[in-house]
Amino acid sequence: MNTNVMSKYWSAVVNGLTPYVPGEQPKLANLVKLNTNENPYGPSPRVLEALRGEIGASLRLYPDPNAERLKQAVAGFQGISAEQVFVGNGSDEVLAHVFLALLKHARPILFPDITYSFYPVYCGLYGVEHVAVPLGSNFEIRIDDYLQANGGIIFPNPNAPTGGLLALAEIERLLAANTESVVVIDEAYIAFGEGAASAVPLIDKYANLLVVQTLSKSHSLAGLRVGFAFGQSGLIEALERVKNSFNSYPLDRLAIAGAVAACEDRAYFEQTRQTVILSREALVGNLRALGFEVLPSAANFIFARHPGHDAARLAAALRKRNIIVRHFNQPRIDQFLRITIGTDEQCQTLIASLRAILG
């Protein structure tokens, strides 16, 4: 059916939306897939065992609407109380509730001009005014730029797609100065920062702090869709009110069982995250040896450009060799490639291909 004909039935909100475009999921044989920041290693064997144990007659029953067992498990992992935990279908759903519950005010919210591109989509969906605050000349978040009137502040730490990490002391400086609105720290990639400190320990001290995390990358569970928000009880209650007005059973039985097992296997989490960190540092060194400029990264991806080669052409040349990376055709970053950290073998394949392409 012609979209132009059918769009007469759309609401004004839908007509005005510019949806988020996720990373490509191509169906190609022998693909080196380095474009969507998935963890290259499978989940903990304990997760797979828990999933097998959950498959049975109990699937006819609704899951626990509050996922209490999971809240207890992730609270133990984080060293906080279960009352300070909110759960949802991946951090994207959690963030959607955050925008509606905590960031929809008279004043515009603030987030970086180069950041997770879902933020402006949520603003369009919920009618949230926003101001894009430019990153610095080195693509860094500058806290002083956020010390202005606002209806809320949100940014990833590490930032995406740049990978830059903001020191915890700078986050605390922002929290102390910005007491009249919520500050949301999106920590989807915090596990991959060598020595990176999560903002979660600050939630008892600052009533306006909400920290969002996900198991997708850190625990290799992108396929299960499990995300969290951590904050004081008043912020969590706001999210629960939205959740229970939207979908009172957000996580299914398999997701709850798998996520609990993932949180409990701390040794496997540490092993895989350290492996990714070591692979990232090796890849950065190899790319710099080929003449690439690579931004400092505390994530499971890097942001790199070559002064003598167009990024879009490099991405196309890699694709011909069955290697997929992410190129953003946006101002300031159109000459960068975002490259997910794969296995050492995948990273070596990437370097060999780039060496051949660059000549």
Q: What is the mean pLDDT of the chain?
A: 95
Q: Using the predicted structure, report yes or no on whether residue 2 has a pLDDT greater than 70.
A: no
For residue 110, name the pLDDT band (cuts at 50, 70, 90): very high
CA angle at residue 19 from 36 to 334, to 5 degrees?
55
| Residue 2 counted as domain residue | no
Name the residue range of residue 27's domain.
Answer: 22-42+267-358
- Inter-residue contact 143 to 168 (CB < 8 Å): no
Q: Which CATH number do you get for residue 144?
A: 3.40.640.10
- pLDDT one-digit tens code per residue, 191-212: 999 888 999 999 999 999 999 9
> Which of 264, 282, 300 is the last residue in one of the domains?
264
- As a whole number, mean pLDDT of residues 103-118 equals 97
198 token code pair: 């999560």
Q: Do both 102 and 36 map to the same domain?
A: no
| Residue 253 counted as domain residue | yes
- As a whole number, mean pLDDT of residues 150-174 equals 98
Q: Which CATH number do you get for residue 274?
A: 3.90.1150.10
Q: Do both 230 and 308 map to the same domain?
A: no
> Which of 264, 291, 324 is the last residue in one of the domains?
264
* Close Cβ partners of 346 (under 8 Å, ≥ 6 residues apart): 32, 34, 40
| Residue 7 counted as domain residue | no
| Residue 9 counted as domain residue | no
Per-residue model confidence (pLDDT) at position 3:
59
| Residue 13 counted as domain residue | no
The lowest-confidence range among 27-31, 135-139, 142-146, 225-229 is: 27-31
Per-residue model confidence (pLDDT) at position 22:
77
Q: Which position has the token pair 């939205």?
A: 242
Q: Do both 241 and 324 map to the same domain?
A: no
Per-residue model confidence (pLDDT) at position 158:
98
Q: Using the predicted structure, report yes or no on whether residue 14 has a pLDDT greater than 90.
A: no
Per-residue 3-state assignment (H helix, E strand, C coil) for the chain: CCHHHHHHHCCHHHHCCCCCCCCCCCCCCCCEECCCCCCCCCCCHHHHHHHHHHCCHHHHCCCCCCCHHHHHHHHHHHCCCHHHEEEECHHHHHHHHHHHHHCCCCCCEEEECCCCCHHHHHHHHHCCCEEEECCCCCCCCCHHHHCCCCCCEEEECCCCCCCCCCCHHHHHHHHHHCCCCCEEEECCCHHHCCCCCCCHHHCCCCCCEEEEEECCCCCCCCCCCCEEEEECHHHHHHHHHHHCCCCCCCCCHHHHHHHHHHHHCHHHHHHHHHHHHHHHHHHHHHHHHCCCEECCCCCCEEEEEECCECHHHHHHHHHHCCEECEECCCCCCCCCEEEECCCHHHHHHHHHHHHHHHC
Q: Do both 316 and 237 map to the same domain?
A: no
- As a whole number, mean pLDDT of residues 251-262 equals 98
- pLDDT one-digit tens code per residue, 266-305: 999 999 999 999 999 999 999 999 999 999 999 999 999 9
- Cβ count near 143 (within 10 Å): 18
Per-residue model confidence (pLDDT) at position 4:
66
Q: Do both 329 and 233 map to the same domain?
A: no
For residue 5, name the pLDDT band (cuts at 50, 70, 90): low
Q: Do both 166 and 106 map to the same domain?
A: yes
Query: Amino acid letter at 164?
Result: G
Q: Do both 352 and 239 map to the same domain?
A: no
> Which of 264, 289, 307 is the last residue in one of the domains?
264
Q: Do both 138 and 242 map to the same domain?
A: yes
- Return the percentage of the chain with pLDDT > 90, whole number: 90
- pLDDT one-digit tens code per residue, 24-78: 777 777 899 999 999 999 999 999 999 999 999 999 999 999 999 999 999 999 9
| Residue 225 counted as domain residue | yes
| Residue 181 counted as domain residue | yes
Q: Do both 246 and 117 map to the same domain?
A: yes
Report pTM.
Answer: 0.95
Q: Do both 65 and 84 map to the same domain?
A: yes
Burial label for 296, CB within 10 Å (0-12, 13-18, 19+), is middle
Q: Do both 49 and 190 map to the same domain?
A: yes
Q: Do both 156 and 214 map to the same domain?
A: yes
If one counts the domains in the chain, the total is: 2
| Residue 114 counted as domain residue | yes
178 token code pair: 């910005």
